[in-house]
Amino acid sequence: MAIDIYNYFLKHPRYNKLVGNDYLMVEYKCPIEVENFKLWTDTPFITYVISGRKDWTAFDKNYTIEKGEALFVNKGVYNTKQYFEVDYCVMLFFITDDFIRRFVKNHEDLIATKTNSHDNSQIFPIKVGDNLNSLFLSVFNYLNQSSNIPKELVEIKFNELLFNIALNPANKDLLSFFNSLKHVEKTNLNDIMMKNFHCDLSLNEFARMYGKSLSTFKRDFQNYYNETPRKWLNNKRLEYAKTLLENPELNINDICFESGFKNTSHFNSSFKEKYQLPPNQYRKTYFNK
């Protein structure tokens, strides 16, 4: 099951954090016993590593991030893997699309001159130069005195963070994504569904990533796909499972959960209903052609 990481940090009293209307800063020390972790977020965030190393896996790509490095992680579902050589400590900067959109509109001349055509990545590596590294470390000090920091100062730091990213030409792909938000007042439904259909999320959680109420999500979904979310998700997950079954190195239980099904009995019965064969028999037939 994927953890709703934004609400987890927002509600958990254990972590040092600074909270505003459109942002959240958190210092996070990962428990040493946690190696693999699955999470989802409806709010984009920047993660900066203070110590340790971790792999981030999106639907189609894997990223490794180490001390002094940073990633921008868009809304979606992710798997992470921790390495145990050094304790893993990070700062997380959750920034809403609206906050980024306001920044871009207020500084269009700066952003527009540094952007490429927008690629459709879920994760963007951030080039961390000396100025940005110093900013991260200064914010780290603020987090240790969070109750005394005015929200106005926190918002200034978030804008300073985006300025530092924008001023470095090496971050042009991320800037292109920022710039694309200026023209999109709501999240693209197809983009959300195609990147995350294989994840075990509820319809409420898909609606949150879409940025709408559950009823609006269902209505827009029906208008776009001409079928209900549950039926579409079931078919899409079965099609994905079918392609995974054609890889002999994957076991059927792993394929079941990787495709977004909660249990193997539901997976087996759904697969047989759609393809007239249970998964194990389909695999045997496929390799005996």
Give me the pLDDT at residue 116, please. Answer: 60
How far is residue 245's CA from residue 158's CA, in Å, rounded to a whole number? 45
- For 136-155, the pLDDT digits (tens) are 888 877 777 655 677 777 78
pLDDT tens track for 229-260: 999 999 999 999 998 888 888 888 888 988 88
pLDDT at residue 117, rounded to an integer: 61
CA distance 54 to 118: 26
Instruction: Return the CATH number of the domain spanning residue range 189-287.
Output: 1.10.10.60
Per-residue pLDDT, 115: 55
Please, which residues bridge with residue 73 across strands?
45, 123
8 Å CB contact between 179 and 104: yes
3 state SS for 4-35: EHHHHHHHCCCCCEEECCCEEEEEEECCCCCC
* Strands 53-57 vs 123-126: parallel, antiparallel or unpaired: unpaired
Long-range contacts of 134-143 (CB under 8 A, 24+ apart): 135/160, 135/161, 135/164, 136/48, 136/70, 136/91, 139/25, 139/91, 140/27, 140/50, 140/91, 142/18, 142/25, 143/16, 143/17, 143/18, 143/25, 143/26, 143/27, 143/91
Per-residue model confidence as pLDDT tens for the chain (289 residues): 678 888 888 887 777 787 777 788 888 776 655 556 778 899 999 999 988 888 888 866 789 999 999 999 998 888 888 776 677 788 899 998 889 988 988 888 777 655 566 567 889 999 998 889 888 888 877 777 655 677 777 788 888 999 999 988 899 899 888 888 876 656 688 888 988 898 888 999 999 988 889 999 999 999 999 999 999 999 999 999 998 888 888 888 888 988 888 888 999 999 999 999 899 998 888 777 6
Residues carrying CATH 2.60.120.810, the chain: 3-181
Q: Which residues are within 8 A (CB) of 153 and not within 5 positions of it... i.e. 6 or more apart?
A: 142
> Which residues does residue 18 pair with via DSSP β-bridges, in sequence order?
25
What is the strand order of the sheet 36-41 is part of? 3-4, 36-41, 76-82, 53-57, 62-66
In which element (H, E) is residue 49 found? strand 45-51
What span, in angstroms and rounded, lies between the C-alpha atoms of 124 and 138?
23
Q: For residue 268, what pLDDT is reported?
A: 92
Residue entry with tokens 């005394």: 148
What is the CATH code for 3-181?
Answer: 2.60.120.810
pLDDT given at position 238: 93
Rounded Cα distance between 65 and 44, Å, is: 17
Alpha-carbon distance 267 to 279, whole Å?
8
Domain with CATH 1.10.10.60 in the chain: 189-287
pTM for the whole structure: 0.80
Q: Where are the alpha helices (DSSP H) in the chain?
A: 5-11, 97-106, 108-112, 130-143, 151-167, 172-181, 189-196, 203-210, 214-225, 229-245, 252-258, 264-275, 279-287
Q: How many CB atoms lie within 10 A of CB 135?
A: 18
CA distance 120 to 248: 30
Confidence at residue 146, expressed as pLDDT on a 0 to 100 scale = 57
Task: Please name the residues in contact with 95: beta carbons below 8 A apart, sequence gap of 6 or more.
Answer: 22, 23, 43, 44, 45, 46, 158, 162
